[in-house]
Amino acid sequence: MTDAAPTADPWTAFARRVIESAVHEADPQRLEPPPAGAQPNHGAFVTLRKFNRLRGCMGSLDVDQTLGEAVRTAALSAAMHDPRFGSVSSAELPEIVIEVSILTPPSPMRTIADLEIGRHGILVRKDLQRGLFLPQVATDHHLDKEAFLSRCCSEKAGLPAEAWRDPDVEVLLFTSEVHHERPRRAEPPEKVAAGASPAVENRAAPAPIVALAVSPANE
């Protein structure tokens, strides 16, 4: 397994150990989460980036899990089961940078004035349809309030873009505690060899427009 030294954050270190165990066909269920892992789960997402580009993002909203189990589920899903990507390989492990987002309990949005861009994430749901955006999606993709809500409805919940205005559609707000892992490699080796300018190529990638939970209870 790769050295976990570049991060001192307990949540990103735990997520990395889980991913490494899965990649190396060990049992990630045997790994102990941080002490805070016994807390209730209100939502946990793991985002993977490779050379500042999205490599996976999945989460768990399963309230029957503890926070530690939710982060474990999200890490495994982001690395091995994000339908947009293949499974992470052992060769990629040193190139992957991990971000863990721990969500606060959601509360109803009474009016659009309640929504604060950059602070709030949103969960839109109607019956069995739902979609979620993390807070950083709005700022990184330069979305105003209406665009943030509309894109969550259409791209994540499978609802009409203006569905958030419907009184039968529930819009919930939450904040997110984000844990970052320090980058391990800033550039692909071929770019470094070619003399690519770090000032140009090392710009942080926008936060992904995230995939919603993969836990069976949330599919």
138 with 184, same domain?
no
133 with 154, same domain?
yes
93 with 181, same domain?
yes
**pLDDT for 160 beyond 60:** yes
Q: What is the pLDDT of residues 104-155, one digit of tens each?
A: 999 999 999 999 999 999 999 999 999 999 999 999 999 999 999 999 999 9
**Encoding tokens for residue 156?**
């994540």
165 with 200, same domain?
no
100 with 205, same domain?
yes
CATH number of the domain within which 60 lies: 3.30.700.20
CB atoms within 10 A of CB 143: 18
87 with 112, same domain?
no
Last residue of a domain, one of 138, 159, 174: 174
122 with 163, same domain?
yes
CB atoms within 10 A of CB 39: 14
Q: For the ranges 7-11, 21-25, 64-68, 81-85, which has the lowest average pLDDT?
A: 7-11
**pLDDT for 193 beyond 60:** no
28 with 96, same domain?
yes
Task: Determine, yes or no, domain membership for 4.
Answer: no
Q: For the ranges 38-42, 61-65, 68-72, 86-90, which has the lowest average pLDDT?
A: 61-65
- Distance from C-alpha of 84 to C-alpha of 214, rounded to nearest angstrom: 13
Enclosing domain of residue 37:
10-104+176-218
Number of domains making up the chain: 2
pLDDT value for 8: 74
User: pTM of the full predicted structure?
Assistant: 0.80
**Encoding tokens for residue 103?**
């969500």
- What distances in angstroms separate CA 178 from CA 8, 144, 154, one per listed residue? 14, 21, 25
Residue with tokens 């505690």: 177
**pLDDT for 156 beyond 70:** yes
Task: Determine, yes or no, domain membership for 5.
Answer: no
Q: Is 163 helix (H, G, I), strand (E, B) or coil?
A: helix
**pLDDT for 30 beyond 50:** yes
Amino acid code (one letter) for 89: S
Task: Determine, yes or no, domain membership for 125.
Answer: yes
Which range is most confident: 70-79, 183-192, 200-209? 70-79
Q: Taking the CA of residue 106 as centre, how many other CA atoms within 13 Å lie in the half-sphere pointing to its CB?
A: 22
pLDDT value for 180: 92
